Amino acid sequence: MRLATWNVNSIRTRVDRVTDWLERADVDVLAMQETKCNDDQFPTMPFAALGYEVAHCGFNQWNGVAIASRIGIENVEVGFPGQPTWSDKPEVEAAAEARALGATCGGVRVWSLYIPNGRTVDSPHYAYKLEWLAALRDTASSWLTSDPSAPIALVGDWNIAPVDDDVWDISLFTHSTHVTERERSAFTAVVDAGFSDVVRPFTPGPGTFTYWDYTQLRFPKNRGMRIDFILGSPALAERVTHAEIARDERKTGKNRVGSPSDHAPVVVDLA
């Protein structure tokens, strides 16, 4: 089974690019983040033409998560128990955002996750991010308590660089989100709950990134961040035979279909 995650940065803009890569990379299950559309707008037909079923969670033009599978998709779940709510405006009631989608594919429980950005350290969104991660940790831990042998993959854009080598120049991020001790501790808490980073052993750093901003030639200069991860339960981790970051999919050029996302896909192979 080949499982991948990719922040696609608008699926309607990049559907041709995504499906082209799916076919070339021979991926069985793809978790997507930042689809930026509601459910009715998701372009399911190009995926169906390649034999993929799609589950999607999108409420508007923000956020959005999806899972495409050619090996079955069952027990679809929008949001996880205890997922925090959010509202940007005091007059608007807080609600769960389109940031978490679970489905069972080929016997593996896959969660496509788009962790809140946090914006700035003094923003309410930063506190929301920490609350969101704590709730994820508690719920994911309960899944393993209930069934220690469950193969579970927590995948997606975590908006956290867990160690200094995951940022091209840590000195530039001294007062920024993504690298604060509280965010890193929240990420480590998920790992300590039993979910290991199954990609890093195959893709050691420094300089091994998954995201490059569009500005200032960040990608050609490899000035990026490692913020996209696949965390696996013990039963899933022991099945990993290979992992990679498909860095070339961030490239532009005449041999590429459409414009790239600012993230690259992250891939694992399971025995």
Interhelix angle for 181-192 vs 124-146, to 10°?
Answer: 10
Question: Average pLDDT for residues 197-206, to the nearest whole number?
Answer: 96
Rounded to whole angstroms, the Cα distance separating 229 from 196 reads 10
Question: What pLDDT does residue 252 have?
Answer: 86
254 pLDDT band (50/70/90 cuts)?
A: low
Per the residue annotation, which of 28, 128, 157, 211 is the catalytic one? 157
pLDDT tens for residues 70-87? 999 999 999 999 999 999
Question: Average pLDDT for residues 242-249, to the nearest whole number?
Answer: 97
Is 159 flagged in the annotation as binding? yes
Q: Which residue has the tokens 């192979």?
A: 269
Is 263 flagged in the annotation as binding? yes
- Which is it for strands 29-33 and 2-7: parallel, antiparallel or unpaired? parallel
Q: Are 15 and 46 in contact (CB under 8 A)?
A: yes
Question: What pLDDT does residue 50 have?
Answer: 98
Kindly list the domain boundaries of the chain, sorted by start residue.
2-270
- Give yes or no: 263 in active site: yes
92's enclosing H/E stretch is: none
Question: Domain spanning 2-270: which superfamily?
Answer: Endonuclease/exonuclease/phosphatase (3.60.10.10)
Residue 258 has pLDDT above 90, yes or no: no
Residue 256 has pLDDT above 90, yes or no: no
Per the residue annotation, which of 52, 56, 166, 263 is the catalytic one? 263
Is 222 flagged in the annotation as binding? no
Question: What pLDDT does residue 2 have?
Answer: 98
Residue 229's SS3 state is strand
The torsion angles phi and psi of 236, rounded to 5 degrees, stand at -80, -45
132's enclosing H/E stretch is: helix 124-146
pLDDT tens for residues 101-145? 999 999 999 999 999 999 999 999 999 999 999 999 999 999 999
Q: Are 207 and 246 in contact (CB under 8 A)?
A: no
Residue environment code for 222-258, b if the CB has 16+ CB neighbours within 10 A, otherwise e: ebbbbbbbbbbbebbbeebeebbbbbebbeeeeeeee
Task: Please indicate whether residue 182 or residue 91 has the higher confidence score (pLDDT).
Answer: 182
pLDDT tens for residues 44-69? 999 999 999 999 999 999 999 999 99
- Give yes or no: 114 in active site: yes
Per the residue annotation, which of 28, 52, 114, 211 is the catalytic one? 114
- Give yes or no: 214 in active site: no
Question: What pLDDT does residue 70 have?
Answer: 98
